[in-house]
């Protein structure tokens, strides 16, 4: 692991509520629109929405530039990376760490892992009851 560490969704939320961090959602625009996004109105910081990949798994060639432009000027501000299940966000957190940010990955992601029936209803930000603005689907 080349980033600061992994957080449970609840640990990530606590850091956000305490004003200690900024959430970076690295899912695709389609995921934001159809599945939903974390609702961070109860925190001091608005989330950043920077896709790690585009639809079809095409890497975002501007990820680093977008993170540097949108991220906090103070590199000591912690960044918490979130994707669907925790894989893309771990990769993004590693890149952010290499840029000098203190970066964490949210274990379980926004939707969590698939359950026995294949639906993502087991864990993750959304399924743990953390504040969410649900998508259009």
The DSSP result for 15-83, as a single string, is HHHTT-EEEEE-S-HHHHHHHEEE--TTSSSPPEE--SEEGGGEE-TTHHHHHHHHS-SSTTSEEEEE-
- Answer whether 15's CB lies under 8 Å from 8's CB: no
What pLDDT, in 10s, does the model give residues 84-124? 999 999 999 999 999 999 999 999 999 998 999 999 988 99
pLDDT at residue 22 above 60? Answer: yes
Q: What is the mean pLDDT of residues 36-64?
A: 94
Residue in 48, 83, 51 with CA at minimum distance from that of residue 69? 48
């Amino acid at each position: 692991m080349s980033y600061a560490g992994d957080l449970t969704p609840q640990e990530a939320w606590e850091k956000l509520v305490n004003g200690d961090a900024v959430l970076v959602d690295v899912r695709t625009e389609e995921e934001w629109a159809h599945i939903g996004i974390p609702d961070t109105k109860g925190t001091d910081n608005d989330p950043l929405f920077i896709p790690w990949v585009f639809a079809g798994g095409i890497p975002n060639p501007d990820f680093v530039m977008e993170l540097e432009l949108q991220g906090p000027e103070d590199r000591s501000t912690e960044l918490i990376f979130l994707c669907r299940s925790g894989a893309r966000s771990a990769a993004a957190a590693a890149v952010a760490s290499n840029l000098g940010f203190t970066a964490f990955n949210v274990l379980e992601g926004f939707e969590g892992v698939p359950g026995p029936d294949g639906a993502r209803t087991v864990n993750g930000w959304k399924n743990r009851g953390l504040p969410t603005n649900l998508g259009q689907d």
